[in-house]
Amino acid sequence: MTEQATSVAAVIVLAAGAGTRMKSTKSKLLHEIAGRSLLSHAVDAAEHLHPRRMVVVVGHEREQVTAHLTEIAPGALTAVQERQLGTGDAVRCGLAVLESTEGEVVVTMGDVPLLEGETLEALVAQHRATGDGVTILTSELSDPTGYGRIVRDAGGDQVAAIVEQRDCTAEQAAIREINAGIYVFDGGVLRDGLASLTTDNDQSELYLTDVVRYARSAGRGVHTLVLADRWQTEGVNDRVQLATLGRELNRRIVERWMRAGVTVVDPATTWIQASVDLAPDVTLLPNTSLEGATSVASGATIGPDTTLVDVEVGEGATVIRTHGSLSVIGAGASVGPFSFLRPGTELGVKGKIGAFVETKNAVIGDGAKVPHLTYCGDAEIGPGANIGAGTIFANYDGVVKSKTRVGKASFVGSNSVLVAPVQISDGAYVAAGSAVTEDVDPGQLGIARSRQRNIPGWVETRRGDTATWQAAREAIDNEGATEQ
């Protein structure tokens, strides 16, 4: 549908609940699944309708919710429900900040993260097709306990009322069609229906559902859109439900990528956040978690046992048993196993970061290698350079962090320390075991270690009563016998 076809006058998102069952100092709406808050999922679905106004009704932990809202939907309005007097009161608070109630007003919930924007579009489309006063999203559940029941009129076509669980008769409690708490209202019907509400119910609250009775009494139609996908109507009230819905959403995300051409060897242990982008022919091995703005190009293999957060992976790259964040891995490059890529790492085409290597603010050129047992921080390594095992880029003197530069095709021997700021020029060598504090010019070999000195008789004098001296004496005796 086009934006003009789906645009509605307003969407009101109900997000004022206390969420006490979460047992958290953080608002329930800010807890996350698939890398996004519950509120963010709700707002994203609502934005499919291109509302002229979006109102989020806040209450409990309102400062947290409002601050988060400015990040995810800065154009949204907020309305404050000071006291929890029911859903009818919450919607009335939302209407109060709107300039007009003319047109279609959609009411949705802030804690149903699997609700899809396409579902809201279908709900609005049906509302327009029937010209109803109210259209309700419903679902049929095998166990409807806890939900309001849809009570239909004698003909069975329209809704006569929605009865909350607490107020149900035994006959009504047996009804399996439940109210999902998501509606499209004619603005005038909603305004007048809210004005007619009373607290004559088990909880002494203003029920939004009673607007249905008002609409029917005013001669307006009320129909439902029955949703087969019950998960879209599921809300989050505690951390068990948060995990359950998170697992289901991840299953859907993983399945969508597999159908788009991504190989996922073990979907049960693979987690992909909603913001991740994958190309066809990517392979994800078990126990892989891709988060944030991570993108993986065609032919790359990620995992097993790998977590990437905001990492860009090039075509044909291989990343094994690695944790990386805010990094770039070039095409054909290899990383791992047991590598730690910290923010600012950039690995060039066909470059290598090997086993037990930690990098930070390190730009490693095309074809350059940092194969194993190295800390590489605040560094620039030229194309084709090789960093030997156990090399330390000593970038911090306790006050200032400085940069080390290693030129193209240069070679740093194993167990060296490069004390920044220092430059190893193009085509230079550093001898193994060196502690380099001065620049090495092109074509030079830098050696920064003391001359070896062997002290005769030291073991006999200082360790004469040990097995070491016994072994040394036997070796000396054997050498003497051989010479004779």
Residues belonging to the active site: 372
Q: Which amino acid is present at 91? A: V
Contacts of 245 (CB under 8 A, 6+ apart): 33, 113, 114, 231, 234, 236
Report how far apart the first and last C-alpha atoms of the chain are (Å, whole number). Answer: 100
Beta strand 429-430 pairing with 32-33: unpaired
Would you state the structure tokens that stand for residue 110, as one six-digit string? 């802030």
Residue written as tokens 């004496």?
A: 473
Q: Tell me, what DSSP letter sits at residue 396?
A: B
Dihedral sign for Cα 376, 341, 327, 389, please.
positive
- CA 423, CA 428: separation in Å to the nearest integer? 10
Alpha helices, H only, 145-291: 170-173, 187-195, 211-217, 239-259
Provide CB contacts within 8 A for 299, sequence distance 6+: 281, 282, 315, 316
Q: CA 406 to CA 6: how far, in whole Å?
A: 58
DSSP state of 451: P
Q: Quote the longest CA-to-CA distance of the chain.
A: 122
Cα–Cα dist 254/249, whole Å: 9
